């Protein structure tokens, strides 16, 4: 496939989003076990005539992102 520039741009974007997500996690003082921090990543998949960019992290990261504090938290 001759989409090297697109793939390069997607790779740069993926790295940027991961870096920002990790920074937000650390700044929000939610990086206690490093498990979520280490699980944040991205994958680029080549499909038909293009690419797909997937972001991944531990499932509970979605709840933290939305501000859910758990059973004993308060905000949900």
Per-residue pLDDT of the chain (76 residues; tens, 9 = 90+): 467 899 999 999 999 999 999 998 888 887 777 899 999 999 999 998 899 999 999 988 888 777 777 676 555 4
Query: What's the pLDDT score for residue 75?
Result: 53
CA-closest candidate to residue 54, choices 38, 43, 65: 43
pTM assigned to the model? 0.78
Strand partners, 43: 54
Answer whether 37's CB lies under 8 Å from 60's CB: no
Contacts of 49 (CB under 8 A, 6+ apart): 1
Residue 21 CB coordination number (10 Å): 19
């Amino acid at each position: 496939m001759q989409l090297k520039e697109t793939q390069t741009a997607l790779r740069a974007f993926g790295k940027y989003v991961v870096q920002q997500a990790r920074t937000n996690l650390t700044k929000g003082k939610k990086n206690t076990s490093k498990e979520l921090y280490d699980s944040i990543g991205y994958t680029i998949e080549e499909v038909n005539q293009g690419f797909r960019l997937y972001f991944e992290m531990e499932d509970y990261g979605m709840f933290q992102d939305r501000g859910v504090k758990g059973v004993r938290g308060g905000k949900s």
